[in-house]
């Protein structure tokens, strides 16, 4: 049994990871602000120790990293590290103190791809604060791991989906109305030819990847792994599949980006731009080979579960 401290364990991934860890016999400590509950109830949570700590506040006070070390973890899973300074503080305190640090990154450490599906070795060309900072964190942590200072594995999820929150939709944003439009066979406009891609992953498959990294320590340390479904999907193919779930043909129209953007809510257009300007399409070959990662969900299967939940909640209306 190992003592696993998860920083931010009651969100999308933690909902699935915490029960997996408990069921495997680990002692689990969940560090959060205590604001959120997991998306699904599970008896495993009864044996989880909760530590209420606001990372942002504790980092400002310079106490966060020592507080994590003082919990005496064998393993730390860091779900919510967004700044290089946060990674540096934590690495400083954990060096020589833990068997394994798993850091959750993002496939947005990549900018536009070259060869697809892109391997982890693709040269990093991130843009935007989030991806740029996550790429800097990756560089720092991989360097620490490869110098032998800290046994780190990085998992880079694609767009995380599951029942309980809005999935990234076929227009490339988060308004669930797009699913209603497709389910009812109504017209949906897509940007360009609809051939840009998105790459989802079910939250339980992210949890699976973390479990595989812990179980295959020597193959996982010093490595980063794309954590996505077996295949990215084009927005057009995604829209057609969703309409097909409801016995409809997708009534799609296509507009050049600027024309499409002008007809959208600005926040939704921005979200679409963030996704299609990257058009992620990431390879899982390395994780399959080194860790035996075998995602249970294709992108469409993962989204289907989330959409079924939205239908049950009355958010998506099929008629």
Ligand X SMILES: NC(=O)c1ccc[n+]([C@@H]2O[C@H](COP(=O)([O-])OP(=O)(O)OC[C@H]3O[C@@H](n4cnc5c(N)ncnc54)[C@H](OP(=O)(O)O)[C@@H]3O)[C@@H](O)[C@H]2O)c1
Residue ranges binding ligand X (CB under 6 A): 8-14, 32-36, 53-56, 79-80, 104, 106, 157, 159-160
Closer to ligand X at the Cβ: 84 or 243? 84
Give the nearest distance from C-beta 276 to ligand X in angstroms: 15
Of 159, 200, 163, which Cα lies nearest the Cα of 316?
Answer: 163
Q: Which is nearer to ligand X, 56 or 312 (CB)?
A: 56
- Residue 269 or residue 306: which is nearer to ligand X going by CB? 306
HSE at residue 152, side-chain half, CA atoms within 13 A, is 28
Q: Which is nearer to ligand X, 100 or 156 (CB)?
A: 156
Residue 57, number of CB atoms within 10 A of its CB: 11
State the minimum distance, in angstroms, from the CB of residue 227 to ligand X.
8
CB of 312 to ligand X, least distance (A): 20
CA angle 134, 164, 48 (to 5 degrees): 75
The CB-of-77 to ligand X minimum distance in angstroms stands at 10
C-beta separation of 212 from 291 below 8 A: yes
> In the complex, what is the shortest distance from the CB of residue 8 to ligand X, in angstroms, rounded to a whole number?
3
| Lookup result for tokens 């479990």 | 211
Long-range contacts, 146-149 (Cβ 8 Å, 24+): 146/222, 149/91, 149/95
Cβ proximity to ligand X, 138 vs 243, nearer residue? 138
Minimum Å distance from CB 18 to ligand X?
10
User: Please, which residue, 118 or 243, has the CB nearer to ligand X?
Assistant: 118
Q: How far is the CB of 267 from ligand X (least distance, A)?
A: 17
DSSP states of 262-291: HTS-HHHHHHHHHHHTT---B--HHHHHHH
State the Cα–Cα distance between residues 103 and 136, nearest whole angstrom.
Answer: 13
Least distance (Å) from ligand X to the CB of residue 156?
7
Asked if 162 contacts 302 with a C-beta cutoff of 8 angstroms, the reply is yes
C-alpha distances out from residue 128 to 112, 134, 138, 268, Å: 12, 10, 15, 17
- Closer by beta carbon to ligand X, 68 or else 243: 68
Q: What residue number has its CB nearest to ligand X? A: 11
For 210-241, b where at least 16 C-beta lie within 10 A, e where not — what string? bbbbbebeebbbbbbbbbbbebbbbbbbbbbb
Using the minimum distance from each CB to ligand X, give the nearer residue, 86 or 181. Answer: 86
């Amino acid at each position: 049994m190992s003592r696993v401290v998860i920083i931010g364990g009651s969100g999308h991934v933690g909902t699935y990871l915490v029960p997996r860890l408990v069921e495997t016999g680990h002692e689990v400590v969940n560090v959060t602000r205590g604001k959120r509950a997991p998306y699904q109830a599970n008896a495993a949570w009864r044996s989880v120790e909760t530590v209420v700590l606001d990372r942002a506040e504790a980092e400002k006070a310079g106490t966060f990293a020592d507080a994590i070390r003082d919990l005496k973890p064998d393993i730390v899973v860091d779900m919510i590290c967004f700044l290089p300074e946060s990674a540096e503080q934590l690495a400083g305190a954990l060096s020589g103190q833990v068997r394994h640090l798993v850091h959750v990154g993002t496939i947005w450490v990549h900018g536009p791809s070259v060869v697809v599906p892109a391997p982890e070795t693709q040269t990093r060309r991130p843009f935007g604060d989030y991806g740029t900072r996550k790429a800097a964190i990756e560089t720092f942590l991989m360097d620490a791991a490869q110098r032998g200072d800290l046994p780190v594995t990085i998992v880079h999820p694609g767009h995380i989906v599951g029942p309980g929150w809005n999935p990234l939709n076929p227009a490339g944003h988060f308004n669930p109305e797009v699913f209603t439009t497709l389910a009812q066979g109504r017209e949906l406009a897509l940007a360009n030819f609809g051939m840009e891609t998105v790459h989802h992953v079910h939250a339980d498959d992210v949890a699976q990847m973390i479990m595989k990294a812990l179980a295959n320590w020597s193959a996982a340390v010093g490595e980063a792994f794309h954590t996505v479904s077996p295949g990215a999907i084009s927005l057009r193919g995604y829209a057609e599949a969703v309409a097909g779930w409801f016995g409809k043909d997708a009534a799609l129209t296509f507009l050049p980006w600027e024309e499409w953007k002008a007809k959208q809510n600005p926040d939704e257009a921005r979200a679409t731009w963030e996704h299609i300007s990257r058009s992620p399409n990431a390879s899982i070959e390395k994780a399959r080979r080194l860790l035996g990662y075998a995602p249970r969900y294709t992108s469409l299967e993962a989204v289907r579960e989330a959409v079924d939940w939205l239908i049950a909640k009355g958010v998506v209306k099929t008629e």
